[in-house]
Amino acid sequence: MSGCVFCKIAAGEIPAKIIKKGDGILAFADLNPQAPTHLLIIPTIHIGSLNDAKDPQLLGTLLAFARDLAKEQKLDTRGYRVVVNTNPDGGQTVFHLHLHLLGGRPMEWPPG
Ligand code: 5GP
Ligand code: ZN
């Protein structure tokens, strides 16, 4: 989708530190990391938010991709957090579906 920053990253039109590529999935480093490891996992097709994700198989694939990536980043034993902010109250600022993978420090609960 024109104007979408994550579509532009998926198309290679703006730079990002790409960490892992899958079939229709991309993981890259967050520009403003909130933890020692902070990666974003996106579908390469434009889906605005979790509300717009009609394909449960894609959602499962994204989650499994995040889990595999966490293991590759050696976060699996100590632990990590996967977050999907959705719409304004959820704290979503980029309206292209993405999973945050956060790790490398203890996470707090409840989140802010
Ligand atoms: P949200 O607030 O929508 O859940 O998360 C959006 C995330 O995208 C934020 O953590 C923000 O730092 C990150 N972000 C925004 N613009 C860019 C960008 O151009 N490149 C990268 N790598 N991350 C971005
Ligand atoms: Zn997009």
Q: What is the mean predicted confidence (pLDDT) over 2-27?
A: 97
Q: What is the mean predicted confidence (pLDDT) over 38-58?
A: 98
Ligand 1 cavity residues, CB under 6 Å? 5, 16, 28-32, 40, 85, 91-94
Judged on CB neighbours under 10 Å (0-12, 13-18, 19+), 7 is: middle
Q: What is the mean predicted confidence (pLDDT) over 39-59?
A: 98
pLDDT of residue 112: 85
Say which ligand is closest to the CA of 13. Answer: 1
Which tokens hold the place of 100?
Answer: 């945050």
Side-chain-side CA neighbours of 72 within 13 Å: the count stands at 11
pLDDT above 90 for 37: yes
Q: Are strands 80-83 and 99-103 parallel, antiparallel or unpaired?
A: antiparallel
**Is-above-0.85 flag for pTM?**
yes
pLDDT above 90 for 104: yes
For ligand 2, a single-atom ion, the residues with CB < 5 A are 1, 4, 6-7, 46, 96
